[in-house]
Amino acid sequence: MTSVPRRTTVPAERRAVVTGAAGFIGSHLCEALLQEGWLVTGIDHLRGHPADVAAHNLETLRPDPRFLLVRADLATAELDSLLDGADTVFHLAARPGVRSSWGEEFSEYVDSNVLGAHRLLDAAGRAGVRRVVVSSSSSVYGGAEDGATPETRLPTPLSPYGATKLLTEHLGLAHASRPGARTSVVALRYFTVYGPRQRTDMAIARMIDSALTGSPITVYGDGLQRRDFTFVSDAVRANLLAAQAETQAAAVNVGTGRTVTVLELIDLVGEIVGRPVVYEHSAARDGDARSTHADLTAAVKLLGYQPLVDLRTGIERQVAWRRSLAADIREPQPVGG
């Protein structure tokens, strides 16, 4: 469970709605909100995760009487009643993944990431929701070849996924900027979030599994591409801070301001696990940025956000969590006697 300090400024009966509640970041955020005394309605269509993954993510939430899970698709559901009385909506529901956004599956990205967001924002405005916190992505930038990327950088997404996330946040900012708008919006541009419950197709999860099992993974490109990795508890804390930030419409980076190459990351994961990550190279793929690097100036000023978990500590926590799921891990045994 994500550990977030309790703040006495949050009324015990404040109500939040979290879309994508059964997902990686969403489930951690729901736990943190309950810890702070919020009443939480989680919305998830439960089609984006294997049933056992969703069940595990929701394991600590379902027994809590302050948490209500509603199975609904934002692109089609009647949303007004779900948002009635909500103070804050945290919008994390989305179709993820850069590579699968090319081709025929793009229509699913439009439904989930664009149409669903638009309908949610419309309903939030009608319900008089005070604040919507929209989850966006560093994918909107396309890359950072010349240092840390501020929010003033012109977004140039390199993938259909990145384009839908940019449109999602622009929809939110447009809704909040209308004359007389009752709902304000903060869009958070996450830089590669990792930690317990991370999707199994993400880099750090695949590296950990490779080191634990000896199964090879593929490194696309030369492995010298750089990434800014954000631990999930920092992403959750950014959401909580964004719920209270004094602004009507803003987009803000959420990262660490530090980068590491893929090959350096592979070495670090192997060192922490105690066994090497087994990998092979393949050609770079469409949509992959050469570098991501968050400028946190606006996050510090607007949210009071600073990352608290360094990469080594975060990976140690994810490895410990992964090892706790020992039933499906077959760690290689030493040879000889």
Q: Is residue 6 part of a domain?
A: no
Residue 255 token pair: 């990262």
DSSP 8-state class, residue 291: B
- Residue-wise DSSP of 209-261: HHHHH---EEEESSS--EE--EEHHHHHHHHHHHHH-S-SEEEEEES-S--EE
Q: Which residues of the chain have pLDDT under 50?
A: 1-10, 12, 329, 331-337
SS3 193: strand
Q: How far apart are CA 259 and CA 64, in angstroms?
A: 38
Over the chain, what is the mean pLDDT?
91
Task: Please report which helix (H) or strand (E) contains residue 317, including its range.
Answer: helix 311-324
Structure-token pair, residue 81: 């009643």
- Specify if 133 maps to a domain: yes
Res 334: pLDDT: 39
Say if 31 falls within a structural domain: yes
Has residue 114 been placed in a domain?
yes
pLDDT attached to residue 294: 97
User: pLDDT tens-digit profile of 178-214?
Assistant: 999 999 999 999 999 999 999 999 999 999 999 999 9
Q: What is the pLDDT of residue 239?
A: 98
CA 320 to each of CA 20, 212, 271: distance values in angstroms, whole numbers, following the listed order: 25, 11, 14
Q: Is residue 243 part of a domain?
A: yes
Residue 8 lies in a domain: no
Residue whose token pair is 């508890």: 233
**pLDDT in the model for residue 11:** 55
- Residues annotated as catalytic are 161
How far apart CA 142 and CA 155 sit, in angstroms, is 7
Q: What's the CATH number where 162 sits? A: 3.40.50.720
Identify the CA nearest to 193 among candidates 153, 239, 244.
Answer: 239
Domain hosting 79: range is 15-194+230-257+292-308
Q: What is the pLDDT of residue 116?
A: 94
3-state secondary structure of 134: strand
Q: Which pLDDT value is given to residue 327?
A: 58
Q: DSSP code of 314?
A: H
Give the CA radius of gyration of the chain. 20
Instruction: State whether residue 144 is helix, strand or coil.
Output: coil
pTM of the model: 0.91
How confident is the model at residue 337, as a pLDDT?
28
| 38 vs 67: CA distance, rounded Å | 9
Whether residue 207 is contained in a domain is answered as no
- Looking at residue 4, its pLDDT comes to 38
Query: Is 35 part of a structural domain of the chain?
Result: yes
Identify the bridge partners of residue 68 per DSSP, sorted by sequence position.
Answer: 41
- List beta partners, residue 15: 39
How many structural domains comprise the chain? 1
Report which of 69, 2, 1, 4 is spatially closest to residue 39, judged by C-alpha positions.
Answer: 69
56 token code pair = 């595990």
